[in-house]
Amino acid sequence: MKRAGVVKKRCGCRDPQTGKQLGDRCPQLRVYLKDRKGQPKLDRSGQPQWRWNSGHGAWWARYSAPPGPDGKRRQPWLGPFDTEDEASKALRKALTVLDEGGIAPDRSLTFGDYLDQWLKGKKSLKDSTLASYVETVELYGKPGLGYLKLAEVNDQHLSQLYTAIGQINNLPERARPSEMLRRLLAARALAPKLRLEDGEMPGLKRKKPLSVSRIHRIHRVLSSALGTAAKTKKIPHNPAQYVELPRLPKRRPLVWTAERIARWKETGRVPGKVMVWTPELCGRFLDVAEERGERLYSLYHLAATRGLRRGEVCGARWEDTDLSDSKSLSLLESDDEDDDGLKSDPSWRTVALDDTNIRLLKAWRAAQRRERLAAGADWIDTGLIYTAEDGSALREEYVSERFAAIVKAAGLPPIRFHDLRHCAATLMLAAGVDMKVVSATLGHARYSFTADVYTSVVPEVSRAAAEATAAIIPRKRTQ
C-alpha cells in the first residue's frame, strides 16, 4: 500500500490569545512582494504574490504511519530541515521504509525516557554492573542527550557528548563550557542526592579528568541501549556504531623487578597502572595465604594459576565442574573488562584443571559441607563453588579486600586482584605454554591482544626468545 505525506514550512511561534503553536499558519513564514509604489504585487488571478521567509521557520515532513501498540493513529513529523528538498527526500525515504515492511520511529519517545525503560529490563545483571549502567544513564546519557527524541539521536550527538565528557575536570582555564558540559557538571553536582532503587548513589570524589577507557565504557552502555532500540524496531539502526572514539592507550603490564621493588620501597610509588608479579612473588603470596589459613586460599590459587576474572570465580558453580573425568571447570564469561577495554561476547568457556587445583577444590568442597551442616536451616543453597559461611554468594569487593590484606601482610609489592590474570598468563608462558592456549584459557576476545601484551612481560620468556633467536644465526666457530 502506497502511503502519502506532506511537506510544510512551520515555526514555533504561538498564538498570543490561545498560547498554541501557529505551525504553518504563522504570518512571518511568508514575505509578500510589493511593487515600486509599495503596493502588493498580484498574480494573474489577482492573488498577492509572496515568497518564503528564509530567516523564519524550518521545513518539516509529515506522513501517516501504522497505529502504535495502543492502537492510536500516528502521524509523525520529520525535521527540521533547512530546505524543502531535504524534507522531501526524508519523506520519500520514510515512505519507502514503510512500503517495504519497515517501521515508523516513535517520535514522541525521548532518549531519556527510553533509557529509563531500558534500565528496567536489566534487573538480571549483577549489582555492580547494574550500578555502572545506572551511573552512565544518570550522569551522562540523560543529562547530555536525554532531551532529544530517540529517533533523532545520531552519531554526531554521541560524539559531542563524548567530547564534553572528556572536558570534565579537563577544561582549559578561561574556556567557556558548552551547554552540554554545563548539564553534565550539574548532574554530577546532584549525584549524591539521587535516590536509586538499591540505595543512594555514592558521592563523586573524582577530581581527575575522565580517562579514555572510561569514555569507552560509557559508549558501550549507550551503544547497548541503542542496539536494543534497533532490535526492537524503535529506531531503524544503531547510530553508536558509526562513532569514532578516541584511541585507547595500550596498557602493557609491568613486571615487579628487583629494581622496581627497591624504588617502590623508597618512594611508595607504583611505576604503572597494571603490575604483575614474577613467579617467585606469586609463589610467596600463595605461601603466605596458605600459612595464614586463609579461608579463600583455593580461590586465590585458582585465579592465580588459571586466570579467572573476579566475576567468574565468584560465579562458578559446582554443577559446571568435573573433578574426575575431564578435570575441567566451565565458566560463563563475566562482564568484567580486560585492560585493553575489550571483552569477549558473553559465552561459556572451559578451563582445564591441574591436579593441585583439583585437590584444593575437593578440600574446599569438604569444608563447605561442614559449614552447611553447621548452618543447618540457615544455609542458603546457591550452588556456587565459593560462598560465604552461610552459603550465600561472596561479595566481590570482599574478595578483593581479603586479597589486598594478604598482599600487605606478606610485604609484597601491590597488584590488583584482577592482575592475578596477568600472573596466570606469565606463569603459563614461563612454563612454555603456547600463546594460543594462553589466550583461550584467559578468554581473551582477541588472540592478537594476548600476543601483543604478554610476549615481553616475563623476563624468563624474553631471555628464552633472545637465546633462541641468537642460536639460529650461522656463525664460524671461535675460541
**CB neighbourhood size of 285 (10 A):** 22
Strands 254-255 and 275-276, by their bridges, are parallel
pLDDT value for 328:
92
Q: Which of 463, 446, 456, 467 lies closest to 422 in space, CA to CA?
A: 456
Residue 393's beta-bridge partner residues? 387
Determine the pLDDT at residue 255: 87
The predicted pLDDT at position 169 comes to 87
C-beta neighbour count of 474 within 10 angstroms: 4
Q: How many CB atoms lie within 10 A of CB 465?
A: 12
User: C-alpha grid cell for residue 466?
Assistant: 633472545
- Parallel, antiparallel or unpaired: strands 30-32 and 50-52: antiparallel
Each residue's pLDDT tens digit in the chain (479 positions)? 456 788 889 888 988 888 888 888 898 999 898 888 888 888 888 888 999 998 898 988 887 776 655 666 667 777 788 898 988 888 888 777 776 655 555 567 899 999 999 999 887 777 777 888 999 999 999 999 999 989 889 999 999 999 999 999 888 877 888 999 999 999 988 876 554 444 444 445 556 788 888 899 999 999 999 999 988 878 878 999 989 988 877 777 888 888 999 999 999 999 988 888 888 899 999 999 999 999 999 999 999 999 898 988 998 999 999 999 889 998 876 554 454 444 444 567 889 999 999 999 999 999 999 999 999 999 999 999 999 999 999 998 999 999 999 999 999 999 999 999 888 888 888 788 888 888 888 887 776 767 777 766 666 556 655 666 566 667 566 54
447 and 455 in contact (C-beta within 8 Å)?
no
Q: Which of 134, 152, 154, 242 is nearest to 194 (CA)?
A: 134
State the pLDDT at residue 198.
Answer: 42
* The predicted structure's pLDDT at residue 203: 45
Question: What's the pLDDT at 161?
Answer: 95
Crossing angle of helices 111-120 and 212-231, rounded to 10°? 90
Cβ-contact 67, 109 below 8 angstroms: no
Residue 269: the pLDDT is 93
Query: Do you know the residue count of the chain?
Result: 479
310 vs 331: CA distance, rounded Å: 12
